[in-house]
Every structure is written in C-alpha cells, then in structure tokens.
C-alpha cells in the first residue's frame, strides 16, 4: 500500500512569506503528526492530529499552525517565514490501536529553504 | 523531564560485524515506548524496532535487537552482521504514555553509522 506522501518535496521561500505543506497519510491511518528537523535542534515535535482534532502541540510559536481534514490528510502552515525555519519537515501517520507497536510511518519530508 | 540521550555522534563498523548503538532515556512515566528509527540520506525515517516499558522480553526484528535495561533506563540497539546498506543516521525515540494516547516522540540527537567494506 502507498506510504505517507508529502508535498512539495523541496521549496524555496524568502523571509516574510508563508508556506503550506501537505501530508497524505497511509490509508486507514487517522493520526498525523509533524516534526521539524534541523542540524542545530535535531528532531522536534510540532503537533499531532487525530480525527481532525489537534491532540498535542510542541513548543513552537504561533506562526506554525496545522489542520487535518475529514479524509485524514493534513496541512501545516508557517507564516512570516524566518531564516531559522529552514528545515526538513517530516509528517508521520499512525494506526491508532491498542495492539501492536503504534509505530509512526514517516514520509520523505518537505525540505524548506528560507532565503 | 523526558529526554533521550545518544552519546555516540558517529561510529564505524566493519561489514558483517555486530555493532551496538547506545541510548539512555529519562522519564517519570511508568508507561512508555521506545523506538529506533533509521534515516538514510534520502531523509525518510524508517522504523526498525519497538520496546514497550512493560515488555519483559527484549525486542528483536531480524538483524535488529534492542537491549532493554529498565533499571538503568537504557535501550541500546544491536545490529548483527552489518551490511553496507546499514550506513545511515540512527535515532532513538521515546513516547510517553500508553499506546494510542499520543504520537509525540522525543528523539535523541542520533548516531551516524558508517559500515566499511
């Protein structure tokens, strides 16, 4: 079956612009979470959604926002981009179940460069 | 506070040899899960193995095994018979709470493994 799909894979923006990243989870997965990966800060949790509701949020400024649609697809938005927002943004989906490991399945990421 | 520590920034191993990647964690929660992920240069995070805090047996998945020492709060990954394709960044991660409650993972800083022929 198809994996987690993230679009776009690469994008370049300038400071002050805004960006929207998209994530399509594995079919049947209702949980989607987002992570930011930078050389300096490593992998950091942004937020997670389950059945269109934000379930948890990381320690990021309000410029970072997200949402989840009824088909479980998710988007995240970053407004007023700063140089420090340059990163690999990873989306992960999970099958919510009490059995199994509940591992997260990650997409290949969207690499954002802010100039 | 919850924290994952990986003290080995980089490691070399000869092909066909075994290698151990270290991971220690800190949590006050009784219920948690520990994961290892592999990240090749392509960027995708690949799930390798999982250990639940209440699991009494060490987890194994093919050439991967997890040496879980709960009292020491360590969850080392052992890769047996290393292959050239194992060269990648390896991350240890922890999820606090029971399965299904959250998918927030705390990641370590990673270990870059290079397998030499």
3-state secondary structure of A33: strand
In angstroms, the separation between the Cα of residue B16 and the nearest Cα of chain A is: 28
Chain B residues near residue A56 by CB distance under 8 angstroms:
102-104
CB neighbours of A10 closer than 8 A, spacing ≥ 6?
Answer: A110, A111, A113
Q: Tell me the average pLDDT across A30-54.
A: 94
CB neighbours of B26 closer than 8 A, spacing ≥ 6?
Answer: B1, B2, B3, B4, B5, B73
Select from B33, B108, B110 the Cβ nearest to the Cβ of A102.
Answer: B33
A98: nearest CA partner in chain B: B99
Span A61-96, pLDDT tens digits: 999 999 999 999 999 999 999 999 999 999 999 886
Span A3-35, pLDDT tens digits: 999 999 999 999 999 999 999 999 989 899 999
Q: How many CB atoms lie within 10 A of CB B73?
A: 16
Residue from B110, B7, B5 nearest A88 by CA: B110
Reported confidence tier of residue A98, pLDDT bands at 50, 70, 90: low
Q: Give the CB-side neighbour count of residue B61, counting CA atoms within 13 A.
A: 12
Chain B residues near residue A102 by CB distance under 8 angstroms:
33, 50, 95, 99-100, 103
Residue from B54, B39, B46, B22 nearest B90 by CA: B39
* Alpha-carbon radius of gyration of chain A: 14
Rounded Cα distance between B36 and A72, Å, is: 26
Give the pLDDT score at B96: 77
Q: Tell me the average pLDDT across A104-111.
A: 94
In angstroms, the separation between the Cα of residue B93 and the nearest Cα of chain A is: 10
Q: Tell me the average pLDDT across A38-43.
A: 94
DSSP string, B42-85: T---EEEEEEETT--SPPEETTEEEEEETTTTEEEEEE-S--GG
Give the pLDDT score at B99: 62
- Contact, A76 vs A20, CB < 8 A? yes
3-state secondary structure of B18: coil
Q: Is the pLDDT of residue A99 over 60?
A: no
β-bridge partners, A31: A50, A94
The DSSP code for B28 is: S
* Intervals of chain B under pLDDT 70: 97-100
Select from A42, A55, A100 the Cβ nearest to the Cβ of B107.
Answer: A42
Reported confidence tier of residue A100, pLDDT bands at 50, 70, 90: low
| Average pLDDT across chain A, whole number | 93
Give the pLDDT score at B100: 64
Chain B residues near residue A100 by CB distance under 8 angstroms:
99
The H or E element spanning position A13 is strand A10-13
């Amino acid at each position: 079956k198809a994996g987690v799909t993230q679009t776009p894979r690469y994008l370049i923006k300038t400071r002050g612009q805004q960006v929207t990243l998209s994530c399509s989870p594995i079919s049947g997965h209702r949980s989607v979470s987002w992570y930011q990966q930078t050389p300096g800060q490593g992998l950091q949790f942004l937020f997670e959604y389950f059945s269109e509701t934000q379930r948890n949020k990381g320690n990021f400024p309000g410029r970072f926002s997200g949402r989840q649609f009824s088909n479980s697809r998710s988007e995240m938005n970053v407004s007023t981009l700063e140089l420090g927002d340059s990163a690999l943004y990873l989306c992960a989906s999970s099958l919510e179940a009490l059995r199994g490991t509940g591992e997260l399945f990650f997409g290949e990421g969207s690499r954002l460069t802010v100039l | 506070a919850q924290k994952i520590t990986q003290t080995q920034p980089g490691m070399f191993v000869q092909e066909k040899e075994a290698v151990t990647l270290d991971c220690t964690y800190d949590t006050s929660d009784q219920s948690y899960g520990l994961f290892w992920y592999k990240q090749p240069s392509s960027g995708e995070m690949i799930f390798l193995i999982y250990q639940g805090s209440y699991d009494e047996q060490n987890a194994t998945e093919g050439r991967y095994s997890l040496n879980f020492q709960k009292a020491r709060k360590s969850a080392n990954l052992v890769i047996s018979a290393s292959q050239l394709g194992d060269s990648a960044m390896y991350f240890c991660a922890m999820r606090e709470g029971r399965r299904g409650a959250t998918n927030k993972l705390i990641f370590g800083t990673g270990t870059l493994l290079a397998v030499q022929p």
